[in-house]
């Protein structure tokens, strides 16, 4: 490898011009000193004195070497400046080629820049805190059985087949704080929705319960006022204070300094704003921007959750709900910190752990915490890689187009280049000049692409804003984006300028002197052009196939039957603050709300549900049929607490049994309606009507009787099969539901009744706000936001690819016709007809396109395996997409070759032969 590098370096230096080596320079210096010494001796000096005087006057070798390097650097700078000026003049002379090249590169580099900016947020960004690499997220792992009480948070499978979660109880947090000194700080937090009432106006915002010791170890400062402190977090009544984010300060308070000391209400509890965080910090959950931060110990006041007779989770070891970040100490190993925290967890949690056989597998582990609670990467990681790959293909296509254009341009400059060679210019200077022009083109294209990328940096986040889950917002256009754009711009200019530069050096010194047009080219050049075009077609086939697959996926998902009527339904969410709403008052409120909204003009019916039917998450519970033997692992199904008119409002058919009615109250026997999937799973070959079951839902006591079977509907999304579900009336729950989705069926456009719905809600409670307002159609569409975005982007990429490929085909065919003018003229002189010449050119374009299409389809089908999880209803090969891609590429290539073919068929044989 070293020998190869040395040879390559020597040849490159030889191409770029002859330079004096250090030995040659030393010999030259010694010669000048000797000449000066001889002159002094002739003037009568002694030899020793003459030599010393000569060295003093001429200077030492080191000084001369420095002077030589200065002169050489200045000479190189002057040469570079001269090449740049000449390159600009050349680009200005051929403005069409310059415009096409810069536009192609701008589109490719701009798309890559915009997508990299969004992908950077998903893949590389960390929390805007001090030393985020020192943070670790605490999680626990266990066997396949859940060893702790129900968790308010995420519980999912791990790599070993067990369970993992990041939810801990507050007593466990307190014990960890007491028993370990292996970490600098334990930071607890919990993201919650909050109804904020400011100056009499209520609105839903994102809030975060956070421990008072969080801001200092995170290095988060206050832009105005102060942040939370440990003294604010001593107990429920110790800190009725709040800190707001810079974004919320700007949006809601217009950055007024009078916000300090302002009293607002959070879920009905009054607090005082004491500070504003700096502009970069938006909470400890990646993908969400928090507007307000309150001390963790304010949970009983801001978000009371009745459990075991108390609304506080601070002293409840049965509730696992809080997330914990730790900052490691530099002088303590991660293994020691994990060991101490694990011992503390097992000791403090053992009294409440369920006695299962998996307790020996219950341990704490440290996960990377530089991104906090990260839902963003899990949702958008795979689409980000797909979009980066597609944008890379588009950039490569633009680069091939650039290389083809530069090759055509170098061919048209044969006379100029051969003249320069004949006058003594070195091949190195020719290579340097062509590379300079290529880098100049790529730099101009990169600058334009950077501008396009900056203007389009939020296009992808806006396309995904209606998607459920974390939001890909607030992307930062930082130095990494600039470095990325600079790198691909220079790399493009150098890599794809080498071929034209090398081609230019192959021109003989006399080649252009006998041909004024420079139309004669070697067969090697034509083959190289054809190879570039085949590569362009292959890349276009990959992009077109990807677009076809994602569009087909979107069409398949749109054709899925929902199982309910989605037209004319208005959706919004109501969250009742527990601090002001008891269980009895909660039931009363929702009953009054349903009656009031149902009486509005234009409203047909109203209902509520704990879980929105599409795109609102999951709610699981155990299901055990009474009279059957209990299983070791209880079956878990999905559940939903709904209003009496739920099935009528959403248009879900009842297949057997009855609907809920007003007689299903808290004092009547508990009833449920199951869907067909549950009936088929638990009652195959028999009717479930009249059967009873038990569940672990805390709000439902005793057994529940099945009174009806409902049709299957899509539950959380459109991709997943309908899970087994049972529905129960919310009026039969022990506790009143604090957070419900309201479904309003209207006569006409659902948004037409908003003007009456809002005042109706405010008349019941002016401190309540309607959150997540949308229509059912929009809700369903939002679940397909990712697929729709991929279809749009890949479709846009494929259109750009077709444009670039058609330019390449046109350029290559036009060049081929131009260089084969004599051959075509000779054929026509020997009797070839016009239509034969026309069809011959089109056949060449067809075979080139066919070769590129076959190669591209083979590569695309191989890449499909990597994206199969993102597709729906498509096998290993989609015939419709394959055939459609081939037809589109062939049609576009024939259209691009039509003009050169027509020009070839009109060549005058006499002029062509005379030209030769």
Place of tokens 């942040």: 227
685-701: burial string, b at 16+ Cβ within 10 Å, e else: eeebbebbbbbebebbe
CA distance 522 to 606: 78
Residue 210 pairs with which residues in a beta bridge? 189, 295
CA distance 23 to 3: 22
> Taking Cα atoms as reference points, which of 551, 588, 560 lies closest to residue 730?
588
The pLDDT value given to residue 767: 78
Give the DSSP H or E segment for 673.
Answer: strand 671-675
More confidently predicted of 628 and 84: 628
The pLDDT value given to residue 535: 85
Question: Residue length, the chain?
Answer: 916
- pLDDT exceeds cutoff 70 at 844: yes
- pLDDT exceeds cutoff 70 at 139: yes
Q: Are 421 and 509 a contacting pair, CB within 8 Å?
A: yes
CA distance 485 to 331: 39
Q: Are 699 and 728 a contacting pair, CB within 8 Å?
A: no
Q: Would you put residue 474 in left (φ > 0), alpha (ψ -120 to 50) or beta?
A: left
CA distance 549 to 543: 10
- Identify which of 16-25, 148-157, 311-320 has the greatest average pLDDT: 311-320
SS (H, E, C) 504-516: HHCCCCCCCCCCC
Mean pLDDT for the stretch of residues 474-482:
73
Backbone angles phi, psi at 54, to 5 degrees: -65, -40
More confidently predicted of 186 and 96: 186
**Torsion angle of C-alpha atoms 867, 868, 869, 874, degrees rounded to 10:** 130
> What is the tens place of the pLDDT at every residue in 517-527?
444 445 555 67
427-448: burial string, b at 16+ Cβ within 10 Å, e else: bbbbbbbbbbbbbbbbbbbbbb
The pLDDT value given to residue 107: 82
Q: Are 561 and 652 a contacting pair, CB within 8 Å?
A: no
- pLDDT exceeds cutoff 50 at 22: no
The pLDDT value given to residue 222: 94
The pLDDT value given to residue 262: 94
CA distance 866 to 754: 45
Mean pLDDT for the stretch of residues 548-552:
88
Backbone angles phi, psi at 404, to 5 degrees: -65, -45
CA distance 748 to 539: 48
Give the sign of the dihedral formed by CA 23, CA 24, CA 29, CA 31.
Answer: positive
The pLDDT value given to residue 18: 40
Mean pLDDT for the stretch of residues 674-688:
93
| Residue 85, both tokens | 């000026």
Residue 20: band (very low, low, confident or very high) from pLDDT cuts 50, 70, 90: very low
Mean pLDDT for the stretch of residues 671-682:
94
Q: Are 290 and 282 a contacting pair, CB within 8 Å?
A: yes
Place of tokens 């005082």: 272
The pLDDT value given to residue 237: 64
CA distance 9 to 24: 19
Residue 295 pairs with which residues in a beta bridge? 210
718-729: burial string, b at 16+ Cβ within 10 Å, e else: bbeebbbbbbbb
Alpha helices in 61-205 (DSSP H): 61-93, 95-123, 170-179
List of residues 6+ apart from 402 with CB closer than 8 A: 101, 104, 105, 438, 441, 442, 445, 492, 496
> What is the tens place of the pLDDT at every residue in 709-743?
999 998 888 888 889 999 999 988 867 677 889 99
More confidently predicted of 409 and 319: 319
Q: Are 275 and 260 a contacting pair, CB within 8 Å?
A: yes
Q: Are strands 725-729 and 636-642 parallel, antiparallel or unpaired?
A: parallel
- pLDDT exceeds cutoff 60 at 184: yes
> What is the tens place of the pLDDT at every residue in 315-374?
888 888 999 999 988 888 899 999 889 888 888 888 777 766 566 778 898 999 999 888
Using only C-alpha atoms, the chain has a radius of gyration, in whole angstroms, of: 37
Mean pLDDT for the stretch of residues 68-96:
68
* Cβ neighbours around 739 below 10 Å, total: 11
- pLDDT exceeds cutoff 70 at 227: yes
The pLDDT value given to residue 207: 92
> Taking Cα atoms as reference points, which of 348, 319, 340, 289 lies closest to residue 165?
319
Please provide the average confidence, as pLDDT, over all residues in the chain: 80
| Residue 318, both tokens | 């049965």
> Taking Cα atoms as reference points, which of 137, 172, 170, 165 lies closest to residue 151?
165
List of residues 6+ apart from 827 with CB closer than 8 A: 837
> Taking Cα atoms as reference points, which of 170, 160, 175 lies closest to residue 190?
170
Residue 442: band (very low, low, confident or very high) from pLDDT cuts 50, 70, 90: confident
List of residues 6+ apart from 131 with CB closer than 8 A: 219, 327
More confidently predicted of 713 and 432: 713
- The DSSP-derived string for 383-447 is HHHHHHHHHHHHHHHHHHHHHHHHHHHHHHTHHHHHHHHHTT--HHHHHHHHHHHHHHHHHHHHH
More confidently predicted of 147 and 714: 714
CA distance 683 to 662: 28
Residue 4: band (very low, low, confident or very high) from pLDDT cuts 50, 70, 90: very low
| Residue 255, both tokens | 């950055």
| Residue 550, both tokens | 């994602």
More confidently predicted of 246 and 239: 246
DSSP code at position 510: T
List of residues 6+ apart from 310 with CB closer than 8 A: 316
> What is the tens place of the pLDDT at every residue in 776-799?
998 888 888 778 878 888 888 888
SS (H, E, C) 168-221: ECHHHHHHHHHHCCCEEEEEEEEEEEEEEEECCEEEEEEEEEECCCCHHHHCCC
Residue 474 pairs with which residues in a beta bridge? none
> Taking Cα atoms as reference points, which of 337, 437, 299 lies closest to residue 135?
337
* Cβ neighbours around 847 below 10 Å, total: 12
More confidently predicted of 831 and 901: 901
Q: Would you put residue 308 in left (φ > 0), alpha (ψ -120 to 50) or beta?
A: left
> What is the tens place of the pLDDT at every residue in 738-769?
788 999 999 988 988 988 998 999 888 887 88
More confidently predicted of 912 and 848: 848
CA distance 428 to 13: 8
The pLDDT value given to residue 255: 93
Provide the CA 523 distance to its chain's centre, in angstroms. 46
The pLDDT value given to residue 899: 83
Give the DSSP H or E segment for 10.
Answer: helix 2-16
The pLDDT value given to residue 415: 67
The pLDDT value given to residue 412: 63
CA distance 512 to 566: 72
CA distance 706 to 656: 11
The pLDDT value given to residue 480: 80
Residue 515: band (very low, low, confident or very high) from pLDDT cuts 50, 70, 90: very low
> What is the tens place of the pLDDT at every residue in 576-601?
877 778 878 888 899 999 999 999 99
Residue 621 pairs with which residues in a beta bridge? 637
Q: What is the percentage of the chain residues whose pLDDT exceeds 90? A: 23
Backbone angles phi, psi at 657, to 5 degrees: 85, -150
* Cβ neighbours around 817 below 10 Å, total: 23
Q: Is the full-model pTM beyond 0.75?
A: no
Distances (CA, A) of 392 to 27, 175, 609, 789: 52, 51, 45, 18
Q: Are 293 and 282 a contacting pair, CB within 8 Å?
A: no
């Amino acid at each position: 490898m070293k020998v190869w590098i040395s040879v390559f370096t020597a040849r490159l230096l030889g191409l770029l011009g002859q330079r004096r080596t250090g030995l040659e320079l030393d010999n030259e210096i010694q010669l000048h000193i000797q000449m000066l010494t001889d002159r002094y001796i002739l003037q009568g000096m002694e030899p020793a004195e003459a030599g010393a005087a000569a060295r003093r006057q001429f200077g030492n070798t080191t000084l001369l070497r420095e002077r030589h390097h200065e002169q050489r650097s200045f000479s190189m700078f002057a040469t570079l400046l001269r090449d740049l000026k000449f390159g600009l003049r050349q680009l200005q002379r051929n403005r069409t080629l310059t415009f096409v090249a810069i536009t192609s590169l701008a589109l490719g580099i701009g798309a890559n820049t915009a997508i990299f900016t969004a992908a950077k947020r998903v893949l590389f960004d960390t929390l805007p805190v001090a030393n985020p690499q020192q943070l670790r997220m605490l999680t626990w792992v266990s066997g396949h059985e859940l060893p702790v009480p129900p968790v308010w948070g995420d519980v999912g499978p791990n790599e070993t087949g067990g369970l993992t979660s990041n939810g801990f109880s507050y007593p466990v947090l307190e014990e960890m704080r007491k028993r370990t000194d292996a970490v600098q700080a334990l930071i607890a937090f919990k993201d919650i929705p909050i109804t904020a009432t400011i100056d009499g106006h209520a609105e839903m915002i994102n809030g975060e319960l956070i421990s008072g010791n969080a801001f200092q170890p995170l290095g988060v400062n206050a832009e105005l006022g102060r942040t939370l402190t440990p003294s604010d977090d001593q107990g429920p009544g110790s800190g009725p204070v709040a800190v707001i984010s810079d974004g919320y300060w700007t949006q809601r308070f217009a950055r007024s300094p009078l916000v300090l000391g302002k009293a607002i209400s959070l879920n009905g509890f009054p607090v005082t704003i004491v500070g504003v965080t700096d502009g970069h910090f938006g909470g400890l959950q990646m993908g969400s921007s928090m507007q307000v931060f309150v001390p963790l110990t304010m949970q009983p006041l801001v978000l009371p959750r009745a459990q075991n007779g108390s609304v506080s989770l601070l002293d409840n070891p049965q509730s696992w709900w809080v997330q914990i970040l730790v900052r490691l100490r530099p002088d303590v190993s991660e293994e020691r910190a994990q060991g101490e925290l694990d011992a503390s967890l097992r000791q403090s949690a053992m009294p409440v752990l369920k006695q299962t056989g998996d307790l020996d597998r219950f341990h704490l582990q440290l996960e990377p915490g530089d991104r906090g609670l990260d839902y963003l990467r899990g949702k958008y990681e795979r689409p980000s890689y797909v979009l980066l790959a597609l944008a890379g293909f588009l950039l490569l296509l633009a680069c091939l187009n650039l290389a083809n254009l530069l090759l055509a341009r170098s061919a048209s400059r044969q006379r100029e280049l051969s003249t320069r060679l004949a006058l003594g210019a070195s091949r190195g200077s020719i290579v340097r000049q062509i590379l300079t022009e290529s880098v100049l083109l790529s730099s101009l294209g990169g600058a334009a692409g950077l501008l396009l990328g900056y203007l389009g940096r939020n296009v992808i986040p806006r396309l995904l804003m209606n998607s459920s889950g974390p939001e890909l917002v607030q992307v930062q256009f930082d130095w990494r984006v600039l470095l990325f754009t600079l790198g691909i711009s220079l790399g493009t200019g150098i890599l794809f300028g080498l071929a034209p530069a090398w081609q230019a050096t192959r021109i003989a010194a006399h080649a252009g002197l006998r041909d004024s047009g420079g139309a004669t080219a070697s067969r090697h050049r034509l083959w190289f052009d054809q190879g570039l075009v085949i590569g362009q077609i292959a890349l276009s086939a990959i992009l077109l196939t990807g677009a076809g697959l994602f569009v087909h996926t979107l069409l398949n998902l749109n054709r899925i039957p929902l199982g309910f009527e989605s037209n004319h339904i208005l959706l919004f969410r109501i969250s009742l603050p527990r601090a002001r709403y008891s269980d009895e008052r909660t039931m009363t409120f929702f009953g009054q709300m349903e009656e009031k909204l149902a009486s509005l003009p234009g409203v047909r019916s109203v209902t509520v549900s704990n879980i929105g039917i599409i795109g609102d998450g999951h709610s699981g519970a155990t299901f055990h049929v009474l009279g059957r033997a209990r299983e070791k692992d209880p079956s878990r199904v999905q559940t939903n607490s709904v209003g009496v008119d739920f099935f009528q409002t959403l248009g879900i058919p009842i297949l057997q049994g009855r609907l809920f009615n007003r007689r299903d109250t808290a004092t009547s026997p508990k009833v449920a309606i199951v869907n067909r999937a549950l009936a088929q799973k638990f009652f195959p070959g028999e009717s479930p009507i009249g059967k009873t079951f038990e569940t672990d839902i805390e709000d439902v006591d005793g057994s529940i009787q099945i009174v009806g079977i409902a049709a299957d509907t899509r539950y959380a999304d459109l991709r997943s099969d309908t899970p087994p579900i049972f529905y129960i009336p919310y009026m039969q729950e022990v506790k009143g539901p604090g957070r419900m989705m309201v479904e309003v069926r209207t006569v006409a456009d659902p948004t037409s009744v908003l003007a009456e719905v809002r005042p109706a809600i405010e008349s019941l409670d002016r401190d309540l706000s309607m959150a997540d307002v949308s229509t059912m159609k929009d809700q369903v569409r939002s679940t397909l936001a990712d697929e729709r975005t991929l279809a749009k982007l890949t479709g846009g990429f494929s259109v750009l690819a077709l444009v670039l490929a058609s330019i390449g085909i046109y350029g290559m065919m036009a060049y081929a016709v131009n260089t084969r003018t004599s051959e075509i003229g000779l054929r026509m002189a020997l009797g070839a007809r016009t239509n034969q010449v026309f069809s011959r050119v089109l056949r060449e374009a067809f075979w080139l396109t066919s070769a590129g299409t076959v190669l591209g389809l083979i590569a695309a089908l191989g890449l499909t395996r990597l994206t199969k999880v993102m597709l729906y209803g498509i096998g290993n090969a989609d015939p419709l997409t394959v055939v459609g891609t081939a037809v589109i590429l062939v049609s576009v290539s024939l259209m691009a070759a039509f003009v050169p073919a027509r020009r070839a068929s009109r060549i005058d044989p006499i002029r062509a032969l005379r030209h030769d």
